[in-house]
């Protein structure tokens, strides 16, 4: 049985784990580019201790939506690490919360 893809909002938080968080502007630009390559959108809120990301994707399942959302945030973090060598050693932990259907 075929079901069309659904739209999911996935919340991913990135904690600094003792290091520095990415520059908000650089991260936002990299995240937007990564999202557009995957036909997704992202909204990020930068807090003192973490970045909260809401990634909206269209996917056939919750699992696929989670994979796409994590790829968007991961690519944005990798871009930040490449553009700022001194933060490359900072450990960033991404934890995904349960995706919700919109």
Cα gap 31→43, rounded to integer Å: 9
Angle at CA of residue 13, ends 78 and 37, nearest 5°: 45
CATH assignment of 6-101, given 2.30.110.10, 3.40.720.10, 3.30.70.600, 3.40.630.30? 3.30.70.600
pLDDT value for 84: 63
Along the chain (102 residues), what's the average pLDDT of each consecutive run of 10 residues?
A: 87 84 90 95 93 95 96 91 56 44 46
pLDDT value for 4: 85
pLDDT value for 80: 76
Q: Could you tell me which of 102, 99, 93, 90 has the C-alpha nearest to residue 11?
A: 99
Residues 6+ apart with CB under 8 A from 49: 15, 16
pLDDT value for 91: 39
Residues 6+ apart with CB under 8 A from 39: 57, 58
pLDDT value for 34: 95
Cα gap 73→13, rounded to integer Å: 9
Where are the domains positioned within the chain? Answer: 6-101
pTM for this prediction? 0.76
């Amino acid at each position: 049985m075929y079901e069309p893809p659904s739209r999911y909002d996935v919340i991913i938080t990135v904690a600094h784990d003792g290091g520095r968080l990415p520059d908000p502007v650089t991260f936002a630009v990299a995240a937007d580019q990564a999202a557009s390559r995957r036909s997704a959108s992202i909204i990020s809120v930068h807090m003192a201790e973490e970045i909260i990301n809401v990634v909206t994707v269209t996917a056939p399942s919750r699992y696929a939506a989670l994979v796409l959302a994590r790829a968007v945030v991961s690519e944005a973090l990798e871009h930040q690490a490449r553009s700022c060598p001194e933060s490359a050693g900072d450990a960033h932990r991404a934890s995904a919360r349960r995706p919700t259907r919109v």
